[in-house]
Structure 1
Amino acid sequence: MRRVGFVLFWLLGAALAQGIKVGVLAPLSGPASADGKSVLSGIQIAADEINASGGLLGRKIELVVYDDQADPRLAVNFARRLIELDKVAFIIGGSYSGASLAASPVANEARVPFIAAYAVHPDITHGKPYAFRMGLLGPVQGRVGAFLVHRLGIKRVAILSIQNDFGRSLEQGFKDQAAKLGLEVVFSEVYPPGNQNFSPLLARLRASGAQALYASGYYAEAANLVRQARSLGLNIPIIGQEGYDSPKFIELAGPAAEGVYITTTLDRDSQNPEVQSFLRKYQERTGIPADMVGASGYAALKVMAQAARRAGGLDGPAVRRGLLGLINLETAVGKIFFFTSQGDPVKSATVQVVKNGQFRRFLNVTDLALLKP
Structure 2
Amino acid sequence: MKKGLVVLAAMCLLFLSGFVSAQADTIKIGLMGPMTGPWASEGQEMKQVLDLLAADLNAKGGVLGKKVEVIADDDGGDPRTAALAAQRLATQGIVAVIGTYGSSVTEATQNIYDESKIIQIANGSTAIRLTEKGLKYFFRTCPRDDEQGRVAVQTMAKLGFKNVAILHDNTTYAKGLADEAKGLLESQGTKIVFFDALTPGERDYTAILTKLKGANPDVVFFTGYYPEAGLLLRQKKEMNWNVPFIGGDATNNPDLVKIAGKDAAQGFYFLSAPLPKDLPSPEAKSFLDEFKKKYGSTPNSIYAVLAGDGFRVITAAMQATQSTDVDKLAAYLHTKLKDFAGLTGKISFDEKGDRVGEVYRVYKVDAEGNFILQP
Q: How does 1:314-333 map to 2 (within 5 A)?
A: 314-324=324-334, 325-333=336-344
Letter of the 1:357 partner, please give it. G
Give the direction of change, closer, same or farther, for the CA distance of 1:41–1:94 in structure 2 (3 Å limit).
farther
Q: CA deviation at 1:105?
A: 1.0
Letter of the 1:275 partner, please give it. A
Asked whether the 8 Å contact 2:168–2:175 carries over to 1, the reply is: yes
Please give the alpha-carbon distance, in whole angstroms, between the structure 2 residues aligned to 1:228 and 1:334. Answer: 37
What is the aligned partner in structure 2 of residue 132 from structure 1? Answer: 139
What is the aligned partner in structure 2 of residue 177 from structure 1? Answer: 184
Secondary structure of residue in 2 paired with 1:160: strand
Please give the alpha-carbon distance, in whole angstroms, between the structure 1 residues aligned to 2:183 and 2:295. Answer: 39
What is the aligned partner in structure 2 of residue 352 from structure 1? Answer: 363
Please give the alpha-carbon distance, in whole angstroms, between the structure 2 residues aligned to 1:175 and 1:330. Answer: 35
Secondary structure of residue in 2 paired with 1:43: helix
Secondary structure of residue in 2 paired with 1:159: strand
The answer to whether the aligner puts 1:86 opposite 2:92 as a matched pair is yes
Q: CA deviation at 1:284?
A: 4.5
What is the aligned partner in structure 1 of residue 79 from structure 2? Answer: 72
The answer to whether the aligner puts 1:123 opposite 2:129 as a matched pair is yes
The answer to whether the aligner puts 1:265 opposite 2:273 as a matched pair is yes
Q: CA deviation at 1:287?
A: 4.6
Matched residues, percent identical?
29
Give the direction of change, closer, same or farther, for the CA distance of 1:27–1:237 in structure 2 (3 Å limit).
same
Give deviations 1:77-114, integer Å, cap 9, x for gaps.
3323323x321111112342233112111111232211
Structure 2 spans left out of the alignment, 5+ residues: 1-17
Please give the alpha-carbon distance, in whole angstroms, between the structure 2 residues aligned to 1:64 and 1:151. Answer: 45
Please give the alpha-carbon distance, in whole angstroms, between the structure 1 residues aligned to 2:250 and 2:60. Answer: 33
Asked whether the 8 Å contact 2:99–2:120 carries over to 1, the reply is: yes
Q: CA deviation at 1:145?
A: 1.3
Aligned pair partner of 1:249 in 247, 250, 256:
256
Q: CA deviation at 1:219?
A: 1.8
Secondary structure of residue in 1 paired with 2:105: helix
Secondary structure of residue in 2 paired with 1:56: coil
Please give the alpha-carbon distance, in whole angstroms, between the structure 1 residues aligned to 2:191 and 2:225. Answer: 25
Asked whether the 8 Å contact 2:175–2:223 carries over to 1, the reply is: no
Secondary structure of residue in 2 paired with 1:339: coil
The answer to whether the aligner puts 1:219 opposite 2:226 as a matched pair is yes
- Residues 321-330 or 110-119, more deviating: 321-330
Please give the alpha-carbon distance, in whole angstroms, between the structure 2 residues aligned to 1:260 and 1:207. Answer: 20
Please give the alpha-carbon distance, in whole angstroms, between the structure 2 residues aligned to 1:183 and 1:277. Answer: 44
Give the direction of change, closer, same or farther, for the CA distance of 1:309–1:237 in structure 2 (3 Å limit).
farther
- Residues 286-295 or 58-67, more deviating: 286-295
What is the aligned partner in structure 1 of residue 207 from structure 2? Answer: 200
Aligned pair partner of 1:276 in 281, 285, 288:
285
Q: CA deviation at 1:226?
A: 1.0
The answer to whether the aligner puts 1:209 opposite 2:216 as a matched pair is yes
Give deviations 1:115-152, integer Å, cap 9, x for gaps.
11111223333321111111122333222211211122
Secondary structure of residue in 2 paired with 1:182: coil
The TM-score with structure 1 as length reference comes to 0.86
Secondary structure of residue in 2 paired with 1:108: helix
Q: CA deviation at 1:359?
A: 1.3
Please give the alpha-carbon distance, in whole angstroms, between the structure 2 residues aligned to 1:122 and 1:46. Answer: 29
Give the direction of change, closer, same or farther, for the CA distance of 1:34–1:307 in structure 2 (3 Å limit).
same
Aligned residues: 349
Asked whether the 8 Å contact 1:93–1:114 carries over to 2, the reply is: yes
Q: CA deviation at 1:301?
A: 0.7
Give deviations 1:243-278, integer Å, cap 9, x for gaps.
221121122222211221111113332322233334
Aligned pair partner of 2:104 in 85, 89, 98:
98
Secondary structure of residue in 1 paired with 2:108: helix
Give the direction of change, closer, same or farther, for the CA distance of 1:361–1:230 in structure 2 (3 Å limit).
same
What is the aligned partner in structure 1 of residue 156 from structure 2? Answer: 149
CA RMSD of aligned residues (A): 2.3
Q: CA deviation at 1:316?
A: 0.7
Give the direction of change, closer, same or farther, for the CA distance of 1:77–1:58 in structure 2 (3 Å limit).
same
What is the aligned partner in structure 2 of residue 302 from structure 1? Answer: 312
Give the direction of change, closer, same or farther, for the CA distance of 1:139–1:329 in structure 2 (3 Å limit).
same
Asked whether the 8 Å contact 1:270–1:276 carries over to 2, the reply is: yes
Asked whether the 8 Å contact 2:281–2:345 carries over to 1, the reply is: no
The answer to whether the aligner puts 1:109 opposite 2:119 as a matched pair is no
Secondary structure of residue in 2 paired with 1:235: coil
What is the aligned partner in structure 1 of residue 51 from structure 2? Answer: 44
Asked whether the 8 Å contact 2:279–2:343 carries over to 1, the reply is: no
Larger radius of gyration: 2
Please give the alpha-carbon distance, in whole angstroms, between the structure 2 residues aligned to 1:346 and 1:230. Answer: 39
Please give the alpha-carbon distance, in whole angstroms, between the structure 2 residues aligned to 1:35 and 1:350. Answer: 20
Secondary structure of residue in 2 paired with 1:185: strand
Give the direction of change, closer, same or farther, for the CA distance of 1:240–1:55 in structure 2 (3 Å limit).
same
- Residues 216-225 or 175-184, more deviating: 175-184
Letter of the 1:307 partner, please give it. A
Letter of the 2:269 partner, please give it. Y
What is the aligned partner in structure 2 of residue 187 from structure 1? Answer: 194
